[in-house]
Structure formats: C-alpha cells, structure tokens
Structure 1
Amino acid sequence: MTKKPCIIVSAPVPADLRQLLEASCDTVDVPMGKSPLEVLPQEQWSQIDGMVCTVKTRVDAALLDAMPALKVVSNFAVGFDNVDMNAANERKVLVCNTPGVLDGAVADLTIGLMLCVARNLVAGDAFVRSGAWTKGAFPLATDIRGKTLGLLGMGRIGRVVARTARAFDMDVIYHNRRQDTEAEAEGIARYVSRDELFAQSDVLSVHIPLAPETRKSIGAREFGMMKKTAIFLNTARGAVVDEDALIDALKNGVIAGAGLDVMTTEPLPADSPLTQLPNVVLQAHIGSATVETRRAMIDLAVHNLVNAMTGNQPKAMVNAEAWPLAREAQPA
C-alpha cells in the first residue's frame, strides 16, 4: 500500500479543499504564523513532506534542515519573501505561490488609493460626518485625469494597473528590470529610466518584489527627485521603502501624499508617525482581501501542493528547476 505524504496545513483552508488535501495526504495542523518547529514534537519533523502556509511562516535554512523530507512549500500568497530561496534552492525544495489570481484585486486597490489621496476622500468623509460641511466648503483636491502614472515594476499587477489607468486618460510610464515590449506594443505604457520615472511621475506606484537588492531601495534620493505635487503609492512590500525617508518626505512637503497598503512593520503600531500624517491614506495590507480573490488564492495554493504531492506538476512554481527532484522525493 502506498504511504500517504504528510503535510502541514498552516493556512485558512476551507472544508471542501481540506477534503481534497486529506484524500491524498495525512495532514498536521499548525497555527498560522507559528513555526512548525515550535508546535510539532521533534520526532514528527522528519515525517513532513510538504506544507501549505501563509507569508507569516518563516521558511529558512533551520526549518529546512530540521525537516529533511520537506520537498514542497506552497505559499498562500504571490509573494515569497518568507522563504529563504537560497536555502530552498540548495536543498532542492520546490516553492509554489499564487500569481495571477490576485492581480485585479491589488490593481483595484492601487487605483482606489490613488483616488483617495488625490481627491482627499478619507478626509472628505470625516468632514461630512463631523458636521464641518455645515460651516463651509471642503478644500479643493487634485485631478488624476491627464496626469502621468509611473509604475516601478511591470509584472502582472503592474500591467493591470496600467490598463486601468488608461481609462482615466493617464499617460503611463514604467521602469522594470526587463523592458516589457508586449505592454509597449499594446500601447498601455512606455519605458523610461528609473530616475526619469521618479522625476516625471505625478503618481508613482510600486510593484516590485521584496528581495535583498530591493530592500530600502526607495529612499531620500528617490523622493528628492519626485515632484512636490506627486503622490506615492505602495501595494507591494513595505520593506522596499526606507520608511523614515518617506515620513520625512511627507512631513516636509517633498512629495504631496502617499497611499500605503504595506508598511515595514505590520500590523502598523498605532503610534507610528505614519498614523499622524494627514496626507497619507493607510490600509491594512488588504490588496488581495476580497472573498473571491482569497478563495482563488487558497484554491491555487492547495492544488499546487496536492499536485506536487501526487507527482503532477503544480501550476505555479517559483523555482521550477526544483520540480524534478521534488517529484522523485515523494513517498513510495
């Protein structure tokens, strides 16, 4: 009789998908965000073949060494900065994620933040609720139509933002590690240098992954190149920005405002300087937080893991080169 692989479930898996997992795997539950090494008895570590988890679970060299049978990590997210990819690659551990299914939701939030900051909608709501409207008119805000939107990063989400922004008659420019000739041929954006992007944008939106080379890659130099009337948006990862430099730029009028769904520290402490700035709109890392999108994400994450555990190629692999070895390592 074929031995079922043993997997860790450390993500919000609905009942129907849990049945799918349990049909082909033995499951072990670990609370979300907890290290399996803290929760599971040591004698169980060597029995774990796979894992579905959120970005709150740190998958580092220590965990991978403690679980030598672990060959597949399926992230319930498009990002994978919780995984030490060097360690995973060295140990031939396959890492899966959930790209594509959340592009629209994150792009929608990006556009929403742009509108909230430019039109000062959050303050406008408070203005009406407080009764201030009875005493006078709300201050004028700023148009976005006809303005220049700059995208730092032109992946799947960036392309959806670009297409949506065209409906607002915005001129879309972008900078990316690789020039996106397809997007240019489609007429949705044009390529500029990184410095030109910061200098020319009326609204600058960040869509780059967090990696060692991008950590704090947006700082005082970049904010200093931006227009004083510019708006800065980040729905990617908080740590790609030097947050102290951003706060200084917002306090001192270097840029006009910011819309942030991500911060360096999450949840954001209530006493953070960001919470005291009137020219900032803050959200609680909700880019993918819709019922439909989260269902599509967990569906893909679970199917990635089930496919890998049953010898079938997963749909979304971060390091596809690890797949042949991960397949060979499955329990006989």
Structure 2
Amino acid sequence: MAAITITDWGTLDPTEAVAYLEGQGHEVVLLDTLDPARIVERTPECDAIIASFIELSAETLAALPNLRVIATAAVGYNKIDIEAARSRGIDVCNMPPEATEEVSTHAVAGILGMLRELRPSAEQVEAGGWDYSALPMPPRVSELALGLFSFGRIARAVAERARPFFGRVIAYDPFVPEDAWQEGVERVDSTDALLAQSDVLSLHSLLTEQTRGFLGRENLAKLPEGAYVANVARGELIDEDALADALDAGRVRGAFLDVLETEPALPGNRLVRHPRAMVTPHAAFRSATTVRKYFLIPAENVCLVLAGERPHTLVN
C-alpha cells in the first residue's frame, strides 16, 4: 500500500481517481492547496502526488523522502523542478492529449467571437442598447490569415477547425518534419515571416527559456497594424504590459486569452478589464468528459509507476 496525496484540483472532480486508487489498495489524502508547505506538513511520507499547478521545487522534493512519482492533471509541468526530480529518482508524468478537442475548439470559438465583436455586441444589448452602427466594424474572416506559433497537436486541431473560416492558415514550427505537415496549412520559415503575415496570431508553443516572453514589444511591432492575438497555451509566452499597451494604442485590435502569467489574475492586471480583450479562466480544457478524466488518468499513471511499469506519459 502506498500513500498518495491529491492536491489543487480546483473545479475538477477527483472522486473517480480516489475510488480507483483505493481500489488498487492505496491510501489517499485529499489536500486542496497550492501551498507546497502544506504537503510537507500534512503528508511528509507520501509516495506519490497528483496535482495540477502547485509549485514543487527542489526544496519541497527534498522534504518528501519517500516520493516516487508526481503525476500532473495538466499537460504542462513547468511548476515542477524536473532536474531535481530526476536527481532524486522521482518520475514525473503529465497528462496525455485528452483535451485536444476541447482546447482547440475553445481557441477557435474565442478567436471567431473576438473577430465578430460578440463581447461588445452582447454588452451593448445588456445595457439596453440596440444599435449595431455604434459597434466596432468587424473584418471579413475569409479575408484574414490565421498564424499559428508552433504546430503541435493542439495547433493542428485548431488549423483543422479554422481552415473553413480563414482565407489562409500559416504556421511556424522548425521541429515538425515536412512529411508530418498538415495539408492546407502554409509553412513559413521564420518567426518574422509568421508575424508579418498573421492578421490573427494564435500561440501554441511550449513554455521554454527561448519562448518565455516571445510576444513582447519587439514582436508585437512586427504584426500587421490592427492584428489580433490569441493564447490558449501558456501565459508566460506574452509580455502582458506590452500587449496592454498595444491594445491601448490600437496597434493590436483584440486579444483572446485563456491563460495569464499569474493565475488567478492579479487585481491590477490591465488585460482582464480591457475593452479590447476577452479573458477566460484557464478553462479551455473543460468538458463533462475531461473534468472526469483529468484526475483518473494521473491516478493510472501513479499506479503504473508504483507497480514498476511504464506510465502512459513520462516526461523525465
């Protein structure tokens, strides 16, 4: 029997995961917190942790001597010190591509809603108005180019959903081989070319030291005047102050964001209340199906590692 801590599940439902783990003979402690010190305090002898976004530093890992596996209920794992985990023999597993449909649909829905000015239209009617001539004039979507920064699994699903609407879909990703490139999507050979041609820029990159702050003042200035920006990947890809300034100046006409650099949003975040921005609360993955599976799959990963078998997804 192993001791397993499930933490920071937020709006997800860990019930099935708990039943599964207990059915495998393990002891489960539920600890809904984003404070790693509480894990060390309450479950210092735990063998496994299932978490979403809690920060697990080298110091925290050193204080958990029995820890053998961390399974995230998220695709991203940048809150975990991977090198420290590797040095201590701790396996780290992330989520397999369970929510590709949901995230890509959320992205396209948000982009189309932004382009069609749905937010100001609805707000006008809610305020008692009924005058479309007072609303911003939307562009014709079929005359626009959608640019994708990175062309992984979610970006490819976005391209598939977006192609019927847009005049062009272009993408930049030097790591995708030519024979794996998607038909109907134009490949560009540099970020400068992507930025210069994207009427709508949608970010889908992993967060690395090279991509952190990618969309800052310099790259925002390379977009066409009045371009739009969307991000359902990682908040840290964007310099938020630079984007807010670009929206204020009209250099960027609109932004749709499901992720922010700091979550939940800080009270002074300029993008949250900006009239040309629409922000959703990191909800792109959600559906009745994924909410159930987002802790069940990490539970399966934990059990596989504890049994000496290879998990579904291993990142280190």
TM-score w.r.t. the length of structure 1 is 0.87
Cα distance, 1:99 vs structure 2: 2.8
Cα distance, 1:245 vs structure 2: 0.9
In the alignment of these two chains, the number of paired residues is 312
Cα distance, 1:194 vs structure 2: 0.8
SS of corresponding position for 1:225: coil
Cα distance, 1:13 vs structure 2: 4.7
Unpaired runs of at least 5, structure 2: none
- Counterpart of 1:50 in structure 2: which amino acid? A
**Alpha carbon RMSD of aligned pairs, Å?**
2.0
Q: Say yes or no: does 1:105 pair with 2:102.
A: yes
Q: Say yes or no: does 1:50 pair with 2:48.
A: yes
What is the 5 A alignment of 1:73-92? 73-92=70-89
> Quick one: distance in 2 between partners of 1:296 and 1:189?
34
| Cα 1:215–1:166 shift into 2, 3 Å | same
Counterpart contact for 1:258–1:280, Cα < 8 Å: yes
Aligned to 2:21: 21
Q: Say yes or no: does 1:229 pair with 2:226.
A: yes
Counterpart contact for 1:162–1:189, Cα < 8 Å: no
Aligned to 1:328: none
| Cα 1:185–1:33 shift into 2, 3 Å | closer
> Quick one: distance in 2 between partners of 1:242 and 1:191?
24
Unpaired runs of at least 5, structure 1: 320-332
Aligned to 2:296: 299
> Quick one: distance in 1 between partners of 2:182 and 2:159?
13
> Quick one: distance in 1 between partners of 2:259 and 2:218?
21
Aligned to 2:212: 215
Render the CA deviation track for 1:209-254: whole Å, top value 9, x for unaligned: 2233322122001000001121011111111111111111111122
Counterpart contact for 2:207–2:234, Cα < 8 Å: yes
Counterpart contact for 2:148–2:203, Cα < 8 Å: yes
Render the CA deviation track for 1:130-165: whole Å, top value 9, x for unaligned: 222169664421122242111111111111001111
> Quick one: distance in 2 between partners of 1:68 and 1:135?
63
SS of corresponding position for 1:273: coil
> Quick one: distance in 2 between partners of 1:120 and 1:114?
10
Q: Say yes or no: does 1:70 pair with 2:67.
A: yes
- Counterpart of 1:51 in structure 2: which amino acid? I
What is the 5 A alignment of 1:172-251? 172-184=169-181, 186-251=183-248
Aligned to 1:30: 31
Q: Say yes or no: does 1:149 pair with 2:146.
A: yes
Counterpart contact for 2:231–2:259, Cα < 8 Å: yes
Counterpart contact for 2:116–2:139, Cα < 8 Å: yes
Aligned to 2:275: 278
Cα distance, 1:64 vs structure 2: 1.1
Cα distance, 1:23 vs structure 2: 2.5
Counterpart contact for 1:260–1:282, Cα < 8 Å: yes
Cα distance, 1:170 vs structure 2: 3.6
TM-score w.r.t. the length of structure 2 is 0.91
- Counterpart of 1:238 in structure 2: which amino acid? G
Aligned to 1:116: 113
> Quick one: distance in 2 between partners of 1:194 and 1:138?
33
SS of corresponding position for 1:81: coil
* Structure 1 range deviating more: 276-285 or 147-156: 276-285
> Quick one: distance in 1 between partners of 2:180 and 2:144?
19
SS of corresponding position for 2:148: strand
Counterpart contact for 2:171–2:185, Cα < 8 Å: no
Render the CA deviation track for 1:19-69: whole Å, top value 9, x for unaligned: 21012312222223232x325547x52x321111111x1111011111122
Report sequence identity in percent: 31
> Quick one: distance in 1 between partners of 2:302 and 2:167?
41
- Counterpart of 2:262 in structure 1: which amino acid? T
Counterpart contact for 1:110–1:233, Cα < 8 Å: yes
Aligned to 1:130: 127
Counterpart contact for 2:169–2:184, Cα < 8 Å: no
